[in-house]
Amino acid sequence: MRAGDSIVLQAEPGRQPILTPWTGTRPDRTLFKGLHRRIRGVWSVVVRSQEEIEATVIRREMQARPDAGFRSRRETRGAPGTEPTGAPTRMTLSTCLPARIGLAALRAGLFLAAAMASAPAQAAEFEASALLAVGSPEWLARRGWSHAFLTVSDEGPVQKCLGLMVREADGGAWSLRRLGARQRGGASDDAEALARHGGWIYVIGSHCGPKGGPLRQERHFVARLAETDLEAAPDGEPLAVTVASTGFRLHRLLNDALRQSGIELLPRKDREAAAFIDAARRTADPAAAQIAEGDRALNIEGAAFEPGGALLLGLRYPPSAEGHPILVRIEHVAALFDAGAGALSVSGVWTLDNVGDRAAPAGVRALAFHGGAFHVLTGQLESKRRKSALLEDHPEGDRARSAHHVLDWPQPPGPAAARRVHDFADAGDVEGIAFDPAGRPHYIRDDRGARPFTVATRTDPSR
């Protein structure tokens, strides 16, 4: 944090902010962290970076008690002192760094902690991993929303991890609405990407395993739901979600395609081989017969359809030996759900040869197709070092910074060059991108651990 960065603390309309301004110097990060742990989800500290990212703290809307407690909000409209009633109070580090916490603030914190303790456990955490714009203009207008984005958490089965992020019209607050779903088909876990085609929304699993391995079949899935069903979901009607287990078939297809492409991959070392591949091959799962001894562990985090219906997947891991991200095109994804839809196959492999390097290899974090081009978010190969077999093999894998690139399309398979349009610097792990009806890009990131997540919007898409 630096002087001049923005911090916003917000309570319910009509109430005073939990913390009030003090004069101080550099903030004590442990003070902020400690207080946040006591009243997690109630207030948040959000820093606006020098790259002009607008950060919006999302209010967590509890299904059982939607009106309980205080709401966390952050707005970036208007000048200090001009916010309407109920809008966030703006403060800067140069004028509001707390040197102490007053008695009134402590009492408020105790009250809020008690209120949050009774909230449903399933709403306490939501680690968003993707973003997809949804909803017709008519539906948004009926709801009184200007934006609606589908998102998914990467922790748990897909039917329990869907959420709708909406913004009230006329620059209102953002909120998260958890979506219920009825699941049909196989097991699922670790959803990482969302994509749309032909009236269907697809949810793609990581096709990897936990940080310490092994590969797990429940993470090897593709699910889909009808986009029209979303119009009833905010009223509480559950969505019908069909889960297709790929049974390590996509793992097999991708590994074979990478071998045949001739791309030299980041070397496979002992921990990856033992923790992910060898351990999975030793399980009693018959589908594990698809895993070959020399295979690579894969981590899919980006997905977007071409207009013609082929699905482009972005690999977070592995990159090329030079540290460049890899894209793979899949044909006939609908064959996982519909008989006669063709055979699942790979029709192209690309490397982004001007993104990442050996010192800071980069992987794909999200994909979106917009304006005749693929928009690619790239970043670290792994963000949490603890228990990560991949980072034990490749300690340099957590060095790449998040960035937004544009890849003109179509491109012949092979090396490709992408234009970097935004570097997120120290903004953290950016995990999703979507475009609103006006063509403005929106991003989403996991705000690390217990802190609330944010939606960040580029203020100048032309930069």
- Give the model's pLDDT for residue 234: 66
User: Helices then strands (H, E): number in the chain?
Assistant: 8, 25
Considering the domain architecture, whether residues 84 and 142 belong to the same structural domain is answered as: no
Asked whether the beta carbons of 321 and 314 are under 8 A apart, the reply is no
- Give the model's pLDDT for residue 177: 86
- Give the model's pLDDT for residue 346: 98
| Segment 113-129 mean pLDDT | 43
Q: How many residues does the chain have?
A: 463
| 463 within some domain | no
Asked whether the beta carbons of 27 and 93 are under 8 A apart, the reply is yes
Query: Residue 64, exposed/middle/buried by CB under 10 A (0-12, 13-18, 19+)?
Result: exposed
Considering the domain architecture, whether residues 105 and 179 belong to the same structural domain is answered as: no
- Give the model's pLDDT for residue 363: 98
Considering the domain architecture, whether residues 146 and 114 belong to the same structural domain is answered as: no
Considering the domain architecture, whether residues 109 and 138 belong to the same structural domain is answered as: no
Considering the domain architecture, whether residues 186 and 111 belong to the same structural domain is answered as: no
Asked whether the beta carbons of 74 and 149 are under 8 A apart, the reply is no
For the ranges 108-117, 425-434, 435-444, the lowest mean pLDDT is seen at 108-117
| 1 within some domain | no
Residue 264 to residue 320: CA distance in whole angstroms = 6
**Strand positions, DSSP E, 186-293:** 191-197, 200-205, 221-226, 239-245
> Of 123, 155, 177, which marks where a domain is finished?
123
- Give the model's pLDDT for residue 174: 82
Considering the domain architecture, whether residues 34 and 183 belong to the same structural domain is answered as: no
The per-residue pLDDT for range 207-248, each reduced to its tens digit, is: 999 999 999 999 999 999 999 888 876 677 889 999 999 999
CATH of the domain at 154: 2.115.10
The whole domain housing 37 covers 6-123
For the ranges 104-108, 167-171, 409-413, the lowest mean pLDDT is seen at 104-108
Pairing of the two strands 162-168 and 6-9: unpaired
Residue 461 to residue 146: CA distance in whole angstroms = 19
Q: What percentage of the chain carries pLDDT values higher than 90?
A: 53
pLDDT at 386 over 50: yes
- Give the model's pLDDT for residue 446: 65
pLDDT at 61 over 70: no
User: How many other CB atoms sit within 10 Å of the CB of residue 395?
Assistant: 11
What is the rounded (10 degree) CA torsion for 86, 92, 98, 101? 0
pLDDT at 400 over 60: yes
Considering the domain architecture, whether residues 167 and 290 belong to the same structural domain is answered as: yes
Asked whether the beta carbons of 112 and 415 are under 8 A apart, the reply is no
Nearest to 15 by CA among 82, 67, 89, 65: 89
| 231 within some domain | yes
The per-residue pLDDT for range 127-182, each reduced to its tens digit, is: 778 999 999 899 999 999 998 999 998 889 999 999 888 889 988 888 888 888 99
| β-bridge mates for residue 135, sequence order | none
- Give the model's pLDDT for residue 404: 94
| β-bridge mates for residue 299, sequence order | 317
Residues 6+ apart with CB under 8 A from 45: 7, 9, 32, 36, 451
pLDDT at 35 over 90: no
pLDDT at 89 over 60: no
| 392 within some domain | yes
Asked whether the beta carbons of 243 and 186 are under 8 A apart, the reply is yes
- Give the model's pLDDT for residue 289: 94
Residue 160 to residue 156: CA distance in whole angstroms = 7
3-state secondary structure of 176: strand
Specify the higher pLDDT residue, 59 or 457: 457
- Give the model's pLDDT for residue 447: 59
> Of 61, 88, 123, which marks where a domain is finished?
123
Considering the domain architecture, whether residues 161 and 238 belong to the same structural domain is answered as: yes
Q: How confident is the model at residue 41 (pLDDT cuts 50, 70, 90)?
A: very low
Q: How confident is the model at residue 17 (pLDDT cuts 50, 70, 90)?
A: very low
How many CA atoms lie less than 13 Å away from 179 in the CB half-sphere?
Answer: 29
Specify the higher pLDDT residue, 251 or 90: 251
Residue 381 to residue 393: CA distance in whole angstroms = 12
Residue 173 to residue 8: CA distance in whole angstroms = 14
Considering the domain architecture, whether residues 307 and 341 belong to the same structural domain is answered as: yes
> Of 70, 102, 123, which marks where a domain is finished?
123
Number of domains in the chain: 2
| Segment 291-309 mean pLDDT | 97
User: How many other CB atoms sit within 10 Å of the CB of residue 444?
Assistant: 25
CA 261 remoteness from chain centre: 29
Q: Which long-range contacts (CB under 8 A, 24 or more apart) does 446-451 make?
A: 446/127, 446/128, 446/129, 450/36, 450/37, 450/40, 450/125, 451/36, 451/44, 451/45
Residue 423 to residue 443: CA distance in whole angstroms = 13
| Segment 381-392 mean pLDDT | 88
Query: Residue 234, exposed/middle/buried by CB under 10 A (0-12, 13-18, 19+)?
Result: middle
Considering the domain architecture, whether residues 164 and 46 belong to the same structural domain is answered as: no
State the average pLDDT for the chain: 75
| 302 within some domain | yes
| 211 within some domain | yes
Considering the domain architecture, whether residues 168 and 299 belong to the same structural domain is answered as: yes
Considering the domain architecture, whether residues 36 and 119 belong to the same structural domain is answered as: yes
Residue 354 to residue 88: CA distance in whole angstroms = 41
pLDDT at 451 over 90: no
Show the tokens assigned to 145. 């929303």
pLDDT at 15 over 50: no
Residues 6+ apart with CB under 8 A from 233: 164, 179, 180, 239
- The alpha-carbon radius of gyration of the chain (Å, integer) is 22
- Give the model's pLDDT for residue 171: 82
Buried b (16+ CB within 10 A) or exposed e, 19-46: beeeeeeebeeeebeebbeebbbbbbbb
Q: What percentage of the chain carries pLDDT values higher than 70?
A: 68
User: How many other CB atoms sit within 10 Å of the CB of residue 463?
Assistant: 9
Helix axes 103-117, 29-38, angle to 10 degrees: 40
- Give the model's pLDDT for residue 125: 60
Phi, psi dihedral angles at 77 (to 5 degrees): -110, 145
pLDDT at 62 over 50: no
pLDDT at 106 over 70: no
